[in-house]
Amino acid sequence: MLTMVERVEGHYEAQEVEYGVVYRWCPGCIVIECDCGERLILNDSVTTCCWCGADHADVIREEQDGGGQSSRDEVLHPWRYAGEREGAGIPF
């Protein structure tokens, strides 16, 4: 029986730099406990257990489809919600 331990949704992290803000993408992942007992961190590119070889791509797909969609635009485009930035000069 596959057990979900933790889910981290993909998001941007804002980093202050000298002339503004840089947004860096951090892809989402899930932590599961495989049927073989090993704990795995899975994402879009890593879907297979390295111990027993079980493919968990369907679990990743389900989590992506069922993820929190309420603030999806804010998660994918945080610079649109950053508020007024004095002297930014870049319209959004």
Report the greatest alpha carbon distance in the chain: 56
Q: Answer whether residue 64 is part of any domain.
A: yes
Task: Give, for 65, the enclosing helix (H) or strand (E).
Answer: helix 57-66
Q: Which of the residue ranges 6-15, 30-39, 48-57, 70-79 would you say has the lowest mean pLDDT?
A: 70-79
Q: Answer whether residue 92 is part of any domain.
A: no
Token pair belonging to 13: 């992290």
Residue 43 structural domain: 3-81
- pLDDT tens for 41-81 read 988 888 898 889 889 888 877 776 655 544 567 767 777 77
DSSP secondary structure letter of residue 44: S
Q: Which of 36, 41, 81, 39 is nearest to 60 (CA)?
A: 41
Q: Answer whether residue 76 is part of any domain.
A: yes
Q: Answer whether residue 9 is part of any domain.
A: yes
